Chain A
Amino acid sequence: MNVLEVKNLNVKIDNDSIIQDVSFNVEQGEVLAIIGPNGAGKTTLFKALLGLLPYNGEIHWAPNMRIGYAPQRLEVEKHIPLTVEEFLKLQPKTITNQKIDEILKFIQLDKKILKMGLGEVSLGQRQRLLIGWTLLGDPDILLFDEPTANVDIYGQESIYKVLAHLQEKLKITVILISHELNVIYQYASKVMCLNHQNICMGKPEEILNDETLHNLYGEPKKFYRHEHQ
């Protein structure tokens, strides 16, 4: 079953054509990874999907889909008077403490973090909290915009563990923007190469080879597989 159908999508920002004639479908339970160079329109595509930007073409979500969205980063002031716990409870529905405990286990953070200020936690922790926040809304589909950008290597590792866990346990449909080809190889069921247009689409093993990556990034980009255990 398709949970999302996009047909002939065009998005312009200040007369610049950022997304040109992009069409694709996402099936229930799938993990679609979107790859492409910087400025290729990946984040713009997400914003159009969420209705944050005007577009031409068709975007059809399956009825009553709850969409969870984790933006690339959450810019908050260091001394913002808002604790992590309060942030998690800003979900529109009532969030019980038990539910928060479950989510914290899931994103592998200690309960102590709840009393800390949202601006005080590290970027990696904040990124995981962002994932946790979206999960608290019981989403049917998650949109992740480069969940590991600006996060150090150890933070990245744990964020991807969370993603893998998410996929195994909750079977949630995920659309993911990422540059981490190894991660995509391991977790994604489908890959879309975006450079303003939908250049290629298919299973990771079909897409992630030197030739398509060369076409996409415009320069030789070697892809070395290394297997995570």
Chain B
Amino acid sequence: METHFLLVLITAIFVSISASLLGSFVVLKRMSLVGDALSHVALPGLAIGILLHFDPFIGAFIFLFMAITGIWFLKYRTRVPIDALVGIFFTSSLALGVLLIPQQDLLEAMFGDISTITISQSIISIIFSLILLVAILIIYKKLALNMVSDELSHSVGIDNKKLDFVYLFIFAVAVAIGIRFVGALLMGALVIIPAASAKNVSKSLSEFMVWSVVFGVISAISGTYLSYTLNLTPGPLFILSGALIFVLSSVFRWLKFV
């Protein structure tokens, strides 16, 4: 029990580090809602994995990959406003996923469960988290400049379209590995809440990224700990811990500006 708790805890920490660091850019890009809806696309992918007996997370990743390619294509090849389409299309895929997933697996797919994680699953999650972390740190300056002004970033030779695709790809991988923890329904929150809290207390980009990760890690630790002591599913506890931090950070911000 003790070693398993540690395994879950360490994996949760790594996954939330990469998710919350990514989240700081999702929030800066004002893509919170798109990102949240996007994560729902994983659900039919999980369903197909469960039904056809292969790793559901591979199914989730394939569906996410198709979704980000679709978003990217809509953004650069058409003049269709993407917000509404994303909302409609991705929420429908959530509905489809709910219908497809066998009843007994539905709760886990929607809200996640890491208490059953094996060592090999844990190692894979940690490796992918580290890859994401490195990838984000390599491109963060370009991402930040692109967010301030895509014209400025273009003028210094950054390929905005390619950068956007890399960013969306990182998003897809982060959601696929995070889904085991908090499920398809809550994944968006795992990415966004720590960053939204960090924005309340940060003035600089470096503070923002650090606080986002710190808040993500605190949520992961407290969520895992509470789930063990209260014997409840960890996913919702991660999110609620994160939400509590958000409330506290908002109070901090409010006090600062009064």
Contacts and interface: CB of A to CB of B under 8 A. Distances in A.
A86 interface: yes
A83 B141 contact: no
Interface stretch (B114-122, B130-138, B151-159, B162-170): B151-159
Interface in B140-155: 141-142, 144-145, 148-149, 151-152, 154-155
B151 A91 contact: no
Contact of B154 (A51, A90, A91, A118): A51
A137 B148 CA distance: 17
A79 B156 CA distance: 25
Given A80-B28, A83-B204, A90-B145, A69 B155 contact: yes
Interface string A182-201: 00000000000000000000
B202 A81 contact: yes
Interface in A82-108: 82-83, 86-87, 89-92
A75 B30 CA distance: 14
Contacts of B199: 79, 81
A29 interface: no
A87 B148 CA distance: 9
A204 interface: no
A137 B154 CA distance: 13
A83 B148 contact: no
Contacts of A118: 148
Nearest to B206: A86
Contacts of A71: 149, 151-152
Contacts of A91: 156
Contacts of B100: none
Contact of A82 (B151, B156, B204): B204
B204 A52 contact: no
Interface string B197-208: 011001111111
Nearest to B142: A92
Nearest to B141: A90
Interface in B192-218: 198-199, 202-208
Taking chain B's interface residues, is the majority helix, strand, or loop, or is none over half, making it mixed?
Answer: helix
B158 A76 contact: no
A90 B147 CA distance: 11
Contacts of B152: 69, 71, 74, 133
B95 to A, nearest CB: 34
A92 B151 contact: no
A50 B28 contact: no
A92 B141 contact: yes
Contacts of A89: 141
B82 to A, nearest CB: 18
Interface residues of B, number: 23
B253 to A, nearest CB: 9
A86 to B, nearest CB: 5
A86 B205 contact: yes
Contacts of B141: 89-90, 92
Contact of B157 (A90, A92, A133): A92
Contacts of B203: 81, 83, 117
Contacts of A83: 203-205
Interface in A33-75: 47, 50-52, 67-69, 71, 74-75
A74 B205 contact: no
Given A69-B155, A81-B199, A92-B141, A74 B149 contact: yes
B206 A92 contact: no
A117 to B, nearest CB: 6
Nearest to B208: A81
Nearest to B253: A79
B155 A81 contact: no
A209 B148 CA distance: 40
8 contacts: A47-B151, A74-B148, A81-B203, A81-B205, A81-B208, A89-B141, A92-B158, A137-B156
Interface of A: 47, 50-52, 67-69, 71, 74-76, 79-83, 86-87, 89-92, 117-118, 133-134, 137, 143
Which A-B residue pairs are the 7 nearest by beta carbons?
Answer: A69-B155, A81-B208, A90-B145, A81-B202, A83-B204, A82-B205, A86-B205
Given A82-B144, A89-B141, A91-B156, 10 more contacts: A47-B151, A51-B154, A75-B149, A81-B202, A81-B205, A81-B208, A82-B148, A83-B203, A90-B144, A134-B155
